[in-house]
Amino acid sequence: MDIQSEKLSLLQDIINTDDAGLIKDLKFLISSRDFDWFNDLDKNQQKDVKEGIRQLDQGENFSHEDAKKRFNA
């Protein structure tokens, strides 16, 4: 089957379904395949972003006021 036939078949399945969860899942799948800026970062930038997320998850953060104090001192 060619891609156009596959798309038409899938579209027909979507049209015929009453499964709201399936529609929600399909919408999520399509939107998640959109551009992801993270993939355009180089490896060092990706590492830094992941480290920042790890720090936040571990509670290793400080307020904007504390940052100003640290870097203006």
Helices H / strands E in the chain, number of each: 4, 0
pTM higher than 0.85, yes or no? no
Contact 38/49 with Cβ under 8 angstroms? yes
Tell me, what's the pLDDT at 38? Answer: 85
In tens digits, what is the pLDDT along the chain, a chain of 73 residues?
688 889 899 999 999 999 999 999 999 888 877 667 888 899 999 999 999 999 989 988 888 888 888 888 6
